Amino acid sequence: MMELILNINLLLLIVISIAIVATGTVRRAVILSGVLSIGAAFAYMLLAAPDVALAEAVIGSTISTIILLVGIKKSRLFTVYYVKTRDTVRDEIFKAIEKNLLTKELDPQFICTNKDKMYVKEHHDFEMLVREVDDKVEIYGEKSNSVFCEVLESIEDEVGAENIIIKDIYNMKED
């Protein structure tokens, strides 16, 4: 009976390993690797190696999974600065940005500021800077950034391309 349980567990470990390699998202792969580690700890328990099982359970499934998830969370952040030039904000811009970023499993971080665009450029790291001037929207970012370009397309669809002025961050000048 013990041998049957061990064989089933090992078969499940193989299936989970294949699922980790085949999955399309990093977050799902990290979670599956935590499940794989728990399955390996169970296999070590069945093989009468409780010390190895405990080490695998603590290090493999808990600590490494948490560290990987925190690292993924930190690296998947897309920072958008909104330079406030008037009292009202056009929500459709931010909804379009958020919708597009969430489909890419990126977490949008919107920061609203009253500082000048040049101050923001010199003192802060960001992927996109949005500024409304009259009825137009100025959007600054790296044109070589593929995510930036895809987000721009979704904004143009939502807001209308005629209302958007796209500028490269490296060519930003004082008004």
Whether 78 and 50 have beta carbons less than 8 Å apart is answered as no
Tell me the per-residue pLDDT of 80-103, one tens digit each, with 9 for 90 and over. Answer: 998 887 766 667 788 888 888 888
Q: What pLDDT sits at residue 8?
A: 95
Q: Which residue ranges make up each domain of the chain?
A: 2-74, 77-171
Question: In this predicted model, which residue has the larger pLDDT, 68 or 171?
Answer: 68
Q: Is the pTM of the predicted complex or chain greater than 0.75?
A: no
Phi, psi (rounded to 5 degrees) for 160: 110, 125
Report, at the CATH architecture level, how domain 77-171 is classified. 3-Layer(aba) Sandwich (3.40)
Q: Using CA atoms, how far apart are residues 32 and 42, in angstroms rounded to an integer?
A: 15
Contacts for 57 with CB less than 8 Å, ≥ 6 apart: 37, 38, 41
Q: Exposed, middle or buried, 167 (CB in 10 Å: 0-12/13-18/19+)? A: middle
